[in-house]
Structures are given as C-alpha cells and as structure tokens.
C-alpha cells in the first residue's frame, strides 16, 4: 500500500501550557497525523488557532471544518462539557464527559464517590455553614486540610498546621469567598503526612492502562518550602512507586475508580490522574484530575515509545483492551519548570527569552507561558518553560536538564535547584 492510500487526520490540541506543547509535539510524530493545530497554543506550539479554551462553539466549528480529532489538555473545558458538545456533533474528541469530569470539578462529588466505593482517601466532612465547620474543627485531635468544592486554579486547598490555621481557612473560603462560588461548600479532611506521587492512567471506560510513574514538586522553593504552585518540576519514572505499589494502586484505586464509575452509569474516558499520598506504604487518593498533569506530562511524554494518537483513538472507541502493550524508553526524564520571579503571585511579563539555539539533542524545551513575536520569544505567564531532558540515570537526567536550564535566560527567570533530588535518596 502506498502512503497515499492512508487517510491522514488532523489533530486539534486544546490548551496553552507545557502539557499541551508536549502533547502536540508527541502527536505530530504520529505517521497517521497530518497537521497538529493548537488552540490557543503558546510561543512553542505550531499552527496556533486563536480560539480560547472556553469558546466551545468556535472550537467545535474549527474541528468540524478541518476534519480534526480533538485532544483536550486542561480541566476547565472538560468541566464545561466540551466532550458532550463535540459528541453531539459527531466529532471525535479525547477526554471525559461533563459527568465524568466531576471527579475533578467537584471535590465533594469525588470524596462521596470514593466513600461509597471504598476507594482509600482521607476521612472527611462537608460544610456550607462556617460556624458548624468551626465547631467540628474544635472536636478534632488531628490536623486538617480545608478544600473549596469547585475548581479554583489549584489554589482552593489549604493545608493547616493548627486549629487556628483551620479556622482561618474556613474564613477565607466560606466567609470571605476568596475563591468565589467554588467555595460555597468546603471539605474538611484529615491531613495525611507522607510521600506524594502522581499516578496517571489512560482509560476507555472499560479498562485503564497505566502511564509511567512520576513525581511533581508543588512548592515554589527548594526543599518543598513556600506556597503551592501548579508544579515546579517533575521526573519519571519515580522510585517512590515500585512494582508492588504500582499493582496496588492500579487495582485498588485506578481499576476500582473506572469500574465504579461504570457501575454508576458514567463511562470514564481519558486520562485519569490520581494524586496519591503514601502513608506507611499505603496509598490514599488526595484528589483526582481528569487530564494529564502539568508538568508530569512533559517527562512522561518524552519517554513514550509508542504512537500516542493510536491510544487516544482506542480510548474514544472503547478498544483499549485490544491494543498492544505500551513500552517506555528506559531512560529517566526530568522536567524543570522555569518560572518568572514572583510566581505564583504576581510576576512581570513580556521579557525576551534567549538561548534556545544552544540547546542540545537530549533536551527539549517545552513552552508554557510564552509568546512569539517578530521571530523572538517573550515571557507571557507565571510558568514559562519546561526544560526536559533524558539521562541513563536519574542523576544524569537531572544534570542534563540543568545544563540546558543554564543556557536559557531572561530577566526574571527563576527555577528550583533541587528538582528530582528527592528521588535520588531511593537509589
């Protein structure tokens, strides 16, 4: 068969972060894909389409006109029902439906789902009344985490070290409404202290295949100090999740989630991300995300030795169980997020970034908050770049990634200097 007889498809990746650059980079390597469009994209993605992620009408019109298979990066359009909308128009789209996306869009829905299906998670109570919440905190003899129910751009979670902090958190979310309507109801749950890791699987509603393991670094400063961010760096695989733990998480958490969703009449298709806390070797679900992690996606994607497009199609068609098993590059991958100083609060933008020309072959610089103008690249967000490198060992991947980090500069460049180091203690 000549190449001409193969029908190539176009892909539309929705989003503008490092995750979306990594997905579009990988999908453009597929022999079945003609053009990858990204909406709205960033300074690193090609074929950018200036449509916002929440403009579902224009996105679906674009996908229809351009014969696209669509891949959704971030949670907001999933929670808004983009998959349902595309399905109504008979357009192929990878990701969970609005109902399935509740696993992320309502933390209360997710906690109740875990409780009724015996999926291990921290014990909790739900409140919409501040006084009742305060009274409850005063009865507890352990530390808590206070969470806004709805989506709050990763900020609606307050980890407390004392009752006073918990009372303040209740005030912030439920009384001051700092996160708006997302904070109409809160969860107060037990704080679980332990080691955190990310476990991400790809599902077609029936089965779920695990992606490579990874570990994020959520705090802004070295040694996990300072406020939480979207993620300051990640590496894959992580020795924190060994083979027996992988099996336990896959069976007791991932498979059980997919099966329980199905039993409740909701087919979960797409990436299912479980944020895991390990306490005394036992995994607990801290949260679900219904999409790839960012920055976990960057090192995971770099290690994929398979055609990601085929697996996205199999997820949509419900045929994952008949796909060949996936294989991973045995090297380690490390992604270091370069941010602008001041992130996660306020930071400057529009600063020219230089040094891309001197990046060597074993690294790839994924863009996030950047834009392209007159052949130059400028900063345009808090997390700006994700420098990702492979190495034979975790140690060498870290060295390779930081070598590349040193070649790139702009005025307000900031990064942690210890990404991946917590993994080294396991070797």
Among 287, 293, 308, 367, binds ligand AMP (CB under 6 A): 287
The reply on whether position 299 binds ligand GLY by CB under 6 A is no
The reply on whether position 125 binds ligand AMP by CB under 6 A is no
CA–CA dist 274, 253 (Å, integer): 8
Residues 6 or more apart whose Cβ sits within 8 Å of residue 344:
155, 220, 227, 228, 229, 230, 382
Q: Using the 8-state DSSP alphabet, how is residue 214 labeled?
A: B
Question: Is the peptide bond prior to 40 cis by the omega test (within 30 degrees of 0)?
Answer: yes
Q: Which residue lies nearer to ligand GLY by CB, 20 or 296?
A: 296
Is the dihedral angle over the CA atoms 16, 78, 232, 366 positive or is it negative? negative
Q: Which residue lies nearer to ligand GLY by CB, 233 or 410?
A: 233
192 binds, among ligand AMP, ligand GLY, none (CB under 5 to 8 A by kind): ligand AMP
The reply on whether position 95 binds ligand GLY by CB under 6 A is no
The reply on whether position 202 binds ligand AMP by CB under 6 A is no
293 binds, among ligand GLY, ligand AMP, none (CB under 5 to 8 A by kind): ligand GLY
149 binds, among ligand AMP, ligand GLY, none (CB under 5 to 8 A by kind): none
The reply on whether position 149 binds ligand GLY by CB under 6 A is no
CA–CA dist 39, 324 (Å, integer): 31
Q: How far is the CB of 276 from ligand AMP (least distance, A)?
A: 10
Binding mask 262-281 for ligand AMP (x = CB under 6 A): -------------x-x----
Among 294, 347, 391, 397, binds ligand GLY (CB under 6 A): 294
Among 72, 76, 101, 145, binds ligand AMP (CB under 6 A): 145
Residues 6 or more apart whose Cβ sits within 8 Å of residue 153:
none
Beta strands per DSSP E along 165-316: 186-190, 195-204, 208-210, 215-216, 219-221, 225-228, 233-236, 269-279, 282-289
Map 87-122 to HEC letters.
HHCCCCEECCCCCCCHHHHCHHHHHHHHHHCCCCEC
The reply on whether position 296 binds ligand GLY by CB under 6 A is yes
User: For residue 174, what are its two tokens?
Assistant: 């439920």
Q: How far is the CB of 231 from ligand GLY (least distance, A)?
A: 3
The reply on whether position 189 binds ligand GLY by CB under 6 A is no
Q: Which of residues 30-59 bind ligand AMP (CB under 6 A)?
A: none
287 binds, among ligand GLY, ligand AMP, none (CB under 5 to 8 A by kind): ligand AMP
The reply on whether position 151 binds ligand AMP by CB under 6 A is no
The reply on whether position 75 binds ligand AMP by CB under 6 A is no
The reply on whether position 195 binds ligand AMP by CB under 6 A is no
Q: Which of residues 163-192 bind ligand AMP (CB under 6 A)?
A: 189, 191-192
Q: Which residue lies nearer to ligand GLY by CB, 130 or 159?
A: 159
Q: How far is the CB of 191 from ligand AMP (least distance, A)?
A: 4
Q: Which residues on neighbouring strands pair with residue 285, listed in sequence order?
A: 121, 276
Q: How many residues bind ligand AMP (CB under 6 A)?
A: 15
Long-range pairs for 253-257: beta carbons < 8 A, 24 or more residues apart: 253/119, 253/120, 253/199, 253/283, 253/285, 254/199, 254/201, 254/208, 254/210, 255/207, 255/208, 256/117, 256/118, 256/119, 257/103, 257/117, 257/119, 257/288
Q: Which residue lies nearer to ligand GLY by CB, 63 or 197?
A: 197
Among 13, 63, 119, 122, binds ligand AMP (CB under 6 A): 122
**Segment (H or E) for 192:** none
Q: Which residue lies nearer to ligand AMP by CB, 34 or 163?
A: 163
Beta strands 68-72 and 282-289 are: unpaired
Q: Measuring CA to CA, how many Å separate 303 from each of 14, 23, 112, 183, 215?
A: 22, 12, 35, 38, 14
**Binding residues vs ligand GLY (CB under 6 A):** 216, 231, 289, 293-294, 296
**Binding residues vs ligand AMP (CB under 6 A):** 122, 145, 154, 157, 159, 189, 191-192, 196, 218, 228, 275, 277, 286-287
């Amino acid at each position: 068969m000549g190449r001409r007889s193969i029908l190539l498809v176009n892909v539309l990746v929705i989003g503008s972060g490092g995750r979306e650059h990594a997905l579009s980079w990988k999908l453009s390597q597929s022999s079945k894909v003609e053009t990858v469009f990204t909406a709205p994209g960033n300074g690193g993605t090609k074929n950018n389409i200036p449509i916002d992620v929440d403009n579902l009408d224009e996105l679906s019109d674009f996908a229809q006109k351009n014969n696209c298979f669509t891949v959704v990066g971030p949670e907001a359009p999933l929670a808004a029902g983009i998959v349902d909308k595309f399905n109504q128009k008979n357009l192929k789209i990878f990701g969970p439906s609005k109902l399935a996306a509740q696993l992320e869009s309502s933390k209360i829905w997710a906690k109740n789902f875990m409780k009724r299906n015996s999926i291990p998670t921290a014990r909790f109570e739900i409140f919409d009344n501040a006084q009742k919440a305060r009274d409850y905190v005063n009865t507890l003899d352990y530390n808590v985490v206070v969470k806004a129910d709805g989506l709050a751009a990763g900020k609606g979670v307050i980890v407390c070290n004392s009752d006073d902090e918990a009372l303040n958190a209740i005030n912030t979310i439920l009384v001051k409404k700092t996160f708006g309507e997302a904070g109409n109801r809160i969860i107060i749950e037990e704080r679980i202290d332990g080691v955190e890791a990310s476990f991400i699987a790809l599902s077609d509603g029936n089965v779920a295949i695990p992606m490579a393991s990874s570990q994020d670094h959520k705090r802004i400063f070295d040694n996990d100090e300072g406020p939480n961010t979207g993620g300051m760096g990640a590496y894959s695989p992580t020795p924190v999740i060994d083979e027996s733990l992988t099996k336990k998480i896959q069976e007791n958490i991932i498979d059980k989630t997919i099966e329980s969703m199905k039993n409740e009449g909701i087919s979960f298709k797409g990436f299912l991300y479980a944020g895991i806390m390990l306490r005394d070797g036992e995994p607990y679900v801290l949260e679900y995300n219904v999409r790839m992690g960012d920055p976990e996606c960057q090192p995971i994607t770099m290690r994929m030795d398979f055609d990601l497009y085929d697996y996205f199609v199999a997820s949509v068609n419900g045929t994952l169980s008949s796909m060949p098993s996936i294989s991973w590059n045995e090297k380690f991958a490390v992604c270091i997020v370069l941010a602008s100083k001041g992130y996660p609060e306020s930071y400057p933008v529009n600063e020219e970034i230089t040094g891309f020309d001197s990046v060597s072959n074993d690294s790839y610089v994924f863009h996030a908050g950047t834009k392209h103008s007159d052949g130059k690249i400028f900063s345009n967000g808090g997390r700006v770049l994700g420098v990702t490198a492979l190495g034979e060992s975790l140690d060498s991947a870290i060295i390779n990634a930081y070598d590349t980090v040193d070649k790139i500069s702009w005025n307000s460049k900031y990064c942690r200097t210890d990404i991946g180091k917590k993994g080294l203690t396991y070797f």
